[in-house]
Amino acid sequence: MLVERIEGRWIQAFKEVFSLCAVKPGDVVAVLSETQSRRVLVELSELALHDLGAKAFHVQLVSPPVSGVPIRSTGASHAVAGLEPVISALAATAMVVDCTVEGLLHAPELPRILAGGTRLMMISNEHPEVLERTKPTKDLQQRVLKGIKLLGAAKVMRVTSPSGTDLEVRVDGAPARGATGFVDQPKRVGYWPAGLCLCFPKPGTVNGTVVLAPGDVNLTFKRYIEAPVRLTIEKDYVTRIEGDGLDAALLRSYYEAWRDKEAYATSHVGWGMNLDARPEAMMMYDRGDINGTELRAFAGNFLYSTGANETAGRFTACHFDFPLRECSVSLDGRAVVERGRLCADLA
């Protein structure tokens, strides 16, 4: 297990990222955390903000109770719990540094927090070494923005793989989003690690087959796929989960535990752009060290996710991210990823 202590180079990494977020001397910045947050991330945030001359203050919440099915990797923290004084305090700042365990990316309170004019920078629940390796850059931002432009102008995304993936997604009208790794505009959100282009498809627009092959990732379980799993998707919903190995059995069991049709629905689709994120990274750390979020962003992966999708009006706490290798992704026939590699104009 890695040691979680303050290292000078980690303070410097946080300063670099917060500088990309346009933090200026005198800015009032809230560091939001909960009782189960990784303390070293809270402390590094405070120290980096201090060195940049910002006026930082802490908001620490009590981590919410867990009952029934364990929840991981949702991006929808329940820690704020609708508390109006907390929402008001966060909304009045120049920036919120989000160090909650799950993050506020899909939290119900986020729109009201952003409405005050603040911006939110979510620090994923990772060991600082992971964050150090996957620091965002201006170059990554420009490449992601180029990918978002392509996605936003497209009508159909097609995804295939040698393992049998054959998926069609109508993406016209689906909000194209990107994760550049930082946020420098009011009422916007950034998160770290990042570097991906994605969209949340409209209702009834996702059909086909996704095959999770050995070496692909079930990120919610922090597990590399060892035996093939075949997902049949009809009008957005996973209708069949086929496979003889443990991977398929665990997946079926977890989905069934929710007793929620929306758990099976498509959340978002996209591809990774971060050349510093590594697909094999989970092999190098104990599970308690990391959250695994860099695997959503490694360059050339196709990311298929199930769970909440605000564009389609679907909400559920069950969420899966499946980064797939060796896929080819095209937009209206134009290749953006070929056999797990970014095409030249995006690399």
Quickly count helices (H) and strands (E) in the chain.
8, 20
Q: How far, CA to CA in Å, does 41 sit from each of 34, 46, 74, 157, 337?
A: 12, 9, 19, 37, 34
Q: What is the DSSP letter of 170?
A: E
Per domain, the residue ranges of the chain are: 8-123, 135-342
Both tokens of 114, joined, read 């952003």
What percentage of the chain reaches a pLDDT higher than 90?
86
pLDDT at 302: 98
Query: What CATH superfamily is the domain 8-123?
Result: Response regulator (3.40.50.2300)
d(CA 47, CA 42): 9
Tokens at 137, concatenated? 């850059």
Task: Reply yes or no on whether the pLDDT at 32 is more than 80.
Answer: yes
Look over the chain and give the mean of its residue pLDDT values, rounded to a whole number.
Answer: 95
**E-state strands within the chain:** 28-34, 55-61, 95-98, 119-123, 156-160, 166-170, 176-179, 189-192, 196-199, 206-212, 217-218, 223-224, 229-234, 237-242, 266-272, 302-306, 320-324, 328-331, 334-338, 341-342
Instruction: Look at residue 1 in the predicted model and tell me its pLDDT.
Output: 64
SS3 175: coil
Residue 23's closest CA among 112, 107, 94?
Answer: 94
Percent of the chain with pLDDT over 70: 100
The per-residue pLDDT for range 281-321, each reduced to its tens digit, is 999 999 888 999 999 999 999 999 999 898 898 988 899 99
With a cut of 70, say whether residue 239 has pLDDT above it: yes
Residues 41-64, mean pLDDT to the nearest whole number:
97
By three-state DSSP, how is residue 140 classified?
Answer: helix
pLDDT at 6: 95
Contact 176, 151 (CB under 8 A): yes
Q: Is the pLDDT of residue 68 over 80?
A: no
Which residues, 6 or more positions from 321, have their beta carbon under 8 angstroms from its beta carbon? Answer: 73, 217, 219, 220, 296, 303, 305
For residue 340, the SS3 value is coil
Please, is 116 exposed, middle or buried when counting C-beta atoms within 10 Å of its C-beta (0-12, 13-18, 19+)? middle
- Give the pLDDT mean for 103-111: 89
Categorize the per-residue pLDDT at 333 as very low, low, confident or very high, splitting at 50, 70 and 90.
very high
For the stretch 167-216, pLDDT in tens is 999 999 999 988 899 999 999 999 999 999 999 999 999 999 999 999 99
Alpha-carbon span 159 to 228, nearest angstrom: 17
Using pLDDT thresholds of 50, 70 and 90, give the confidence band for residue 129. Answer: very high
